[in-house]
Amino acid sequence: GENVEQHPSTLSVQEGDSAVIKCTYSDSASNYFPWYKQELGKGPQLIIDIRSNVGEKKDQRIAVTLNKTAKHFSLHITETQPEDSAVYFCAASLGASYDKVIFGPGTSLSVIP
Amino acid sequence: DAGITQSPRYKITETGRQVTLMCHQTWSHSYMFWYRQDLGHGLRLIYYSAAADITDKGEVPDGYVVSRSKTENFPLTLESATRSQTSVYFCASRTGREQYFGPGTRLTVT
């Protein structure tokens, strides 16, 4: 079955710097890769996603890149702000359908003012 | 517009007791999911449902039972709670690609 690994588990950056979170997946059939942000005491919320036919996607300060050959994808946050502090989860679809996704273990991001 | 709600938000129970966690969504989304969140494991899928009366196992279904008689409700039952089921439980519903998560239920089994 699918296995999703995520690194680092914790990340501290200065406000204004960039943050990068990396994930790998094992199932070559996976074709959908969402990223969720979880603020303290709340449920996760989708922030960006990418399909396997796209190598990169950007939405304002966040971007995701996908390397299907290497089976890894990354989240990039530029010009970080204190409100970016949260736990970030990557995920990969189970097979070619996004009916189910498998989540990585999460990265706790702290942005230091 | 409440969206997706979970109850109770906090629950303490004893080993061996039956516990039911409730999940209700107001959107009429077809898909609903139950996850548990534990440190170092992220979110693990327990059960999911594609529609009323259709449910299927996820990654960690043992010890849990679900039902879905109505589209808007998806209760999760722990038939005989164990300490290993101490966790934060999230319900979610899906439309298109995006899953919408509830606020979670923190369950402690003593």
Binary contact (A102, B92; C-beta < 8 A)? no
Of B16, B40, B25, give the one whose Cα is nearest residue B92.
B25
B2 touches chain A (CB under 8 A): no
Of A90, A53, A58, give the one whose Cα is nearest residue A74.
A90
Binary contact (B42, A32; C-beta < 8 A)? no
Query: Phi and psi of B101, rounded to 5°?
Result: -100, 145
**pLDDT score for B105:** 97
Of A1, A48, A54, A51, give the one whose Cα is nearest residue A25.
A1
The Cα B5–Cα B19 span in angstroms is 17
pLDDT per residue over A60-85, tens digit each? 999 999 999 999 999 999 999 999 99
Of B66, B83, B84, give the one whose Cα is nearest residue B75.
B66
pLDDT per residue over A25-48, tens digit each? 999 889 999 999 999 999 999 999
Residues 6+ apart with CB under 8 A from A43: B90, B92, B101, B102, B103, B104
The Cα B86–Cα B37 span in angstroms is 10
